[in-house]
Amino acid sequence: MSPAVSGRRPPGWRTVNATLGGIVAGVCGVVLARAVFGRDAAVAGVVIGTVALVAGGWASWGLSPQRRGRSHARLPGGRRLRSRVHALAWFAPVVGSAVAMLAWAGVAHSSGSGWVQAVGALLAAVLIAGIVAPMFPARRASLSCTGSPSDSEAGQAVELTMVANGPIRIRPCYPVGTTAQAVGSPRGPRVVEVTITPDRRGVMEEMTVELATCAPFGLLWWARDVQVPLPRPLHVAPRQGEPGPIDTLADKAAGDSQLRVAAGSGEPRGVRPYQPGDTRRSVHWPATSHVGSLMVRETDRQTDDPIIVDVVLPPDPQQAEAESERIMATVSPYLARGQSVVLATLEPEGPVVRLVRDRVDLGRRLARAVPPPTAAGTGGGADGPVDRGAGASVDTDAWRTGRPATGHLRWQRRR
């Protein structure tokens, strides 16, 4: 669930961007000074233009980091990870402020009154500060996660405890969630509850959020995307899907065919009439002589034999999600009845064959399960070739089960 990085800016882009930004800011400052104070105010134009040039170049340099690799990262949903501070919906506030300043400059120039020009300068300062100032607290904004659960299910809301260093707006980007506002004391950290809703299974070790602020005047929002590590991994289990058909295979290691009845072992439970297939050792002669018909001993069968589930997920993410949901729905009833289940999965660290304790453990195992790696150009994977007709990876690995290849989900009950 980590973003992928696609590249970085070429060398020298930061200097060029800062130079162009400073020039544009200086020209805008000179034009604004001439519009407010008139064409004869050369000193004011030079001072305001120089200040705007320096401020624009410095701001452009600060907003253009040397390494731009993270700004090209992509989230799983296809959205670009924008780690650089940027303005949100800037067109209307910027254009509206420019129109207001130009209109007031026209009024001040036509009236020639000093107090009108002073109010216009004050209005311009407020508008410029309201547009530019929020980018500095947005750059310094930070967020940390102090509390998160360890287990969840896809499609269910998860509450995380976050700590922000200022009055910022928090919008989860991946996984998506509800927007929260960090409010509290004027100074010090602010504790806020953020709700996210994972849309698919997996193991989350970090989340991506957008931190935004519009302080001090609320004219324009500035934001940046940050990745917040979780205090512990969040295992997102698949949804409870619909149970589907399964392939049941018997362990034939003991011979080519199964016994028609259970072997005569176990704790004695009583006697019953003879059935075809009962061995001579099981005949209970005292009961036979008493009843007058052939009677055999009946013993308790072993009921704690585990069910082995061999999971092979398809390479397509949507098909893998649907397959994991089907496995979740099929295996959960057996765990609820107390039946032992052994799950064989392929995890990023390697193959895992282990007993499943409960439904929570089943969700964790399926959250960590990954499809087998596919070799480029061969159409095969770690578990064997790909069945083109069914779109499924066929298991031919002898170390797992030692039995013929079948589809994704397989039962095997030990005999």
In the prediction, which pLDDT does 46 show? 63
331-361 pLDDT, tens digit per residue, is: 998 888 888 889 999 999 999 999 998 999 9
Helices (H), 256-391: 285-291, 317-336, 359-368
- Residue 80 pLDDT exceeds 50: yes
The CATH architecture that domain 138-237 belongs to is Sandwich (2.60)
Q: Tell which residue, 225, 99, 94, 129, has the closest CA to residue 169.
A: 225
| Residue extent(s) of CATH 2.60.40 domains in the chain | 138-237
Report yes or no: 197 and 177 within 8 Å, Cβ to Cβ.
yes
The Cα-based distances of 35 to 38, 109, 110, 114, 122 in angstroms read 6, 7, 11, 14, 14
Burial of 104 (0-12, 13-18, 19+ CB in 10 A): buried
Greatest alpha-carbon pair distance for the chain in Å reads: 132
147-183 pLDDT, tens digit per residue, is: 999 999 999 999 999 999 988 999 999 899 999 998 8
In the prediction, which pLDDT does 3 show? 53
- Residue 49 tokens read as 């233009």
Residues in the chain: 415
Does the predicted TM-score (pTM) go above 0.75? no
Report yes or no: 238 and 332 within 8 Å, Cβ to Cβ.
no
DSSP-based three-state secondary structure for 208: strand
208-228 pLDDT, tens digit per residue, is: 999 999 988 888 999 999 999
Report yes or no: 168 and 211 within 8 Å, Cβ to Cβ.
yes
